[in-house]
Structure 1
Amino acid sequence: MSTHTSKTKITTAKIKSMKGKGRIVSLTAYTKNITQLMDPYVDLIIVGDSLGMVAFGFDSTLPVTIEMMISHGSAVVRGAETSCVIVDMPFGSYQESKQLAYKNAAKVMAQTGAQGIKIEGGPEMLETVEFLIQRGIPVMPHIGLCPQYANVLGGFKVQGKTQHQRDYLIETARKFEKVGAFSLLVEGVDELTAREITRSVSIPTIGIGASPECDGQVLVTEDMLGLFTEYTPKFVKKYIDLSQLIKTSFSEYEQEVRNRAFPTREHCFD
């Protein structure tokens, strides 16, 4: 059941204020239609660079471009009546310099109408995040397992399993809070690390593969609907297997067309 009791647009400031006041519900979206369906039930929609894998068929998120994010981001914003929408900054669009990051983030904000952006990374991104926030761009840093850093990390490996890693992530979270981040996305960390990060900051943590210890949860929508069939991460719960339902519909359509059972008089103009 939706917890939205009014048509008031949820802002990044509202997301920040939700710390300790109930769970924050988040999903990814890339199209207006899907956004309209989920909008009554979620607080935060992330236009993720995961679209590179689930929508474009890339092996990673690295080939995703700013133009792709703007195109899909603007579609999602048009479908989001109440949910807060943030857009991922794709690989190579912000790492070179804080000035480049601002140029691209401002372009994303202006051309999509999103409420903020998400940036992957650790302490090396602190100056950039602060630079953006000081210039009017709300930022959600993405820490822990950062897919854009997979080549450096040696693959998609759980983070925070050692005390050194845990301390590093906690300190990183605190630093991002200090420079003004409105929330944190925490991916691929163990339960203890997620709990300690969440307790260490006064801004919300949104977890994906980070246990129930975060302030909110996000999943890739195609994963939880059973639409992405290449593989299913351990942390994903499939709420329905839409791929099978869709295949059944395609099969029925094929047979009816081949057997001249569709269209019938019902579907014809007089």
Structure 2
Amino acid sequence: MSVAKKEYKRITVKSLLEMKQRGEKISMLTAYDFTMAKIVDGAGVDVILVGDSASNTMAGHETTLPLTLDQMIYHASSVIRGINRSLVVVDLPFGSYQSDPKEALRSAIRIMKESGAHAVKVEGGKEIKESIKRILNAGIPVMGHLGLTPQSIYKFGTYTVRAKEEEEAEKLKADAKMLEKAGCFAVVLEKIPAKLAKEVAESINIPVIGIGAGNGVDGQVLVIHDMLGMTHEFNPRFLRRYLNLYDEMTEAISQYVDDVKSRDFPNDNEQY
């Protein structure tokens, strides 16, 4: 059953809470640059995530770990200049918050001050509780992230579905409630069983955004390059490709090369 949308001039953390309470699903996509952010924002996406997935999609790294705080600030500030409505959330990169709450606060402050972003996102549960508290106490909104946490890929050793076993599932549920109690405004659940994700979404009052977590949560997030089909090697079950830009762009660029080689471009109408 569809729910009537409320029109927001600007999306805030309060807007997302109202959406959950009203039963309106939350849309979230990644963006890493001005041009893409402008398109995503103009299309009506509620939340733009400046994800550390930029490490994969923009820089070609195998994991998200190499991305630095300076690089995240660069991407975030580019995105901010392209938006009018969306809430912009920025990943705190690996190594910038896990071990030292004071370092976590410094990292979050740098992102907020230097990029103009609206919130930060962190991966993990009780292990980073003190870092989360320190950031929240400074008045910076925090989004949590549980389930498959890509910054911990070497700990997991695989990108397979998380929390299938009871012990890990119970920990995830406890961590979600801890994040809510600590003051996080939302939490992302990545690649966990749909039944568990629905249970978590129904057990806490803050919005739950899923990626590979079924339809029983309060919203969905995808990586923009994946859903537009700009990448073609990555094919998880949860990914729906809305375009096949890889083939379309390849064809267009090949046509351009042919036109240049054949002297068809530029023609008489395309020069001064």
**TM-score grouping bracket, smaller chain normalisation:** over 0.9
Deviations 1:81-139 (A, max 9, x none): 10000100110011120000000110001111111000001211111111111111100
Establish whether residue 119 from structure 1 lines up as the match of residue 122 from structure 2: yes
Establish whether residue 203 from structure 1 lines up as the match of residue 206 from structure 2: yes
Deviations 1:166-222 (A, max 9, x none): 111111000110010000011010011101110110000000011111100000000
CA contact (8 A) 1:62 1:90 kept: yes
How many angstroms does 1:165 deviate by?
1.5
- Secondary structure of the residue that 1:185 maps to in structure 2? strand
CA contact (8 A) 2:125 2:178 kept: no
Which residues of 2 match residues 1-270 of structure 1 at below 5 A?
5-6=7-8, 8-21=9-22, 22-39=24-41, 40-269=43-272
Code of the residue aligned with 1:256 in structure 2: it is: D
Deviations 1:226-249 (A, max 9, x none): 001232222100011011110111
- Secondary structure of the residue that 1:59 maps to in structure 2? coil
CA contact (8 A) 1:49 1:88 kept: yes
Code of the residue aligned with 2:210 in structure 1: it is: G
> Which consecutive unaligned segments of at least 5 residues does structure 2 have?
none
Code of the residue aligned with 2:194 in structure 1: it is: E
Structure 2 CA distance for aligned equivalents of residues 232 and 220 of structure 1: 12
| RMSD of aligned Cα (Å) | 1.3
Q: TM-score, normalised by structure 2?
A: 0.95
Code of the residue aligned with 1:45 in structure 2: it is: I
How many angstroms does 1:163 deviate by?
1.8
Consecutive aligned runs of 4 or more in structure 1 exceeding 3 Å deviation: 3-6
Q: TM-score, normalised by structure 1?
A: 0.96
> Which consecutive unaligned segments of at least 5 residues does structure 1 have?
none
CA contact (8 A) 2:50 2:89 kept: yes
